[in-house]
């Protein structure tokens, strides 16, 4: 059952939804979160509480346990409140915006009934596994192989840097099912906890997003029923391209919310901290830096809102996603770095808002397509 007090099922009002997200996070998640950060792993209760309050499967149909909110602004609001509460974000993005949306869009009726209710309730945790030790951004060069053997596939290979890799009960992996030209013959399979031949490495130690567990996954003649094939065989790369705009938009939402959060925190700090008998925010150099950041962050907000509007209309392209993901994540890194400098020694402390944001920001220009790969996409779109 969902937590009745939050009444998430009847949200058509964005302000009410935001208020309930904020109250829920402060009451149920924030008191435990520091412990999870130190352990490098959120407890299962984290997912169960999110599910009980309707924060998982936002866009999934109520038929399968979701809220059925197709307006992407609901997902953005949740991201913003997670950032403000300093709660780990990547795992929720992977679970909600990637895996649940993949299954809801591509899964058959049986798969939706089998997996989505438990993903929406938090009884199962989801992960997406594409990156391999030999490469990340180029999904066309996948080396993990799945060979058809009667009514199942035999999967061999490995994945790395997988968000939710330790907690995940359902992992959508990209495998090669047919040899051919680069980018062809890729399929999506759902790996479930306990399948023979599936093992995990020890949790990987990151420099940021410590509460979001990350792991290596190994497949040694892993037997996967053919009923766990998502979509059609050999069309995985097409599915990636179709789903990529949503994933990159979600990362951009994290970037803008993070930049706004650290900038607001820094403005408050520089108005109080003094040096040479004046507040550090009153020095001309610092004022100009903050004026520039304030302007750029406001531009990013307008850019994000416009992109969400295009996404809601079905007009948000792969190139649009590359542009906003590249620009907002690079801006997030810039804001985090400048603001840490303005905090001085305090900013270098791991537990400070400035320090945490700086560490968390560094991954943003890497996952979901590196800045370099995104600029390749953009340059090709303008005929270069």
- CA atoms 121, 239, 91, 361: torsion sign: negative
247 in catalytic set = yes
Catalytic residue among 80, 118, 247, 260: 247
Closest CA to 149 of 95, 197, 85: 197
pLDDT at 278: 96
pTM: 0.93
pLDDT at 97: 87
Domains in the chain with CATH codes? 14-124 (1.10.540.10), 128-233 (2.40.110.10), 237-382 (1.20.140.10)
CB 57 within 8 A of CB 66: yes
Q: Which residues of 264-281 are buried (b: 16+ CB within 10 A; e: fewer)?
A: ebbeebbeeeeeeeeebb
pLDDT at 30: 93
Strand partners, 230: 188
pLDDT at 1: 33
The predicted-structure confidence for 30-60, as pLDDT tens digits, reads as follows: 999 999 998 888 988 899 999 988 889 989 9
The predicted-structure confidence for 196-246, as pLDDT tens digits, reads as follows: 999 999 999 999 999 999 999 999 999 999 999 999 999 988 898 888 999
pLDDT at 138: 66
Report the alpha-carbon distance of residue 356 to residue 88 in Å, rounded: 11
* Ranges of the chain with pLDDT below 50: 1-9
pLDDT at 3: 37
């Amino acid at each position: 059952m969902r937590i009745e007090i939050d009444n998430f099922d009847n949200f058509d009002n964005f302000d009410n939804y935001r208020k309930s997200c904020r109250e829920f996070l402060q009451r149920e998640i924030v008191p435990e979160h520091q412990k999870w950060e130190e352990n490098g792993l959120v407890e299962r209760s984290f997912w169960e509480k999110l599910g009980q309050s309707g924060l998982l499967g936002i866009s999934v149909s109520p038929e399968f346990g979701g809220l059925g909110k197709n307006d992407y602004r609901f997902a953005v609001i949740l991201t913003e409140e997670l950032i403000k509460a300093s709660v780990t974000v990547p795992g929720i993005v992977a679970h909600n915006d990637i895996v649940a949306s993949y299954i809801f869009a591509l899964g058959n009726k049986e798969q939706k009934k089998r997996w989505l209710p438990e993903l929406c309730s938090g009884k199962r945790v989801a992960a997406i596994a594409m990156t391999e030790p030999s490469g990340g951004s180029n999904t066309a060069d996948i080396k993990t192989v799945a060979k058809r053997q009667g009514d199942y596939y035999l999967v061999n290979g490995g994945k790395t840097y997988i968000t939710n890799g330790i907690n995940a009960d359902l992992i959508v992996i990209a495998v090669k099912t047919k040899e051919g030209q680069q980018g062809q013959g890729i399929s999506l399979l759902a790996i479930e906890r306990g399948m023979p031949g599936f093992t995990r490495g020890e949790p990987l130690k990151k420099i940021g997003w410590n509460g979001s567990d990350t792991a290596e996954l190994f497949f040694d003649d892993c037997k996967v029923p053919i009923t766990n094939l998502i979509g059609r065989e050999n069309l995985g790369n097409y599915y990636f391209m179709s789903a990529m705009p949503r994933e990159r938009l979600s990362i951009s939402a994290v970037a803008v919310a993070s930049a706004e959060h650290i900038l607001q925190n820094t403005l408050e700090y520089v108005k109080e901290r003094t040096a040479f008998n004046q507040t550090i925010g009153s020095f001309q150099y610092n004022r100009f830096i903050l004026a520039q950041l304030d302007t750029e962050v406001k531009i990013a907000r307008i850019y994000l809102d416009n992109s969400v509007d295009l996404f809601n209309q079905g007009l948000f392209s792969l190139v649009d996603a590359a542009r906003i993901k590249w620009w907002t994540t690079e801006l997030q890194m810039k804001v985090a770095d400048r603001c840490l400098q303005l905090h001085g020694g305090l900013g270098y402390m791991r537990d400070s808002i400035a320090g945490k944001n700086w560490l968390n920001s560094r991954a943003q220009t890497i996952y979901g397509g590196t800045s370099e790969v995104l600029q390749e996409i953009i340059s090709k779109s303008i005929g270069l």
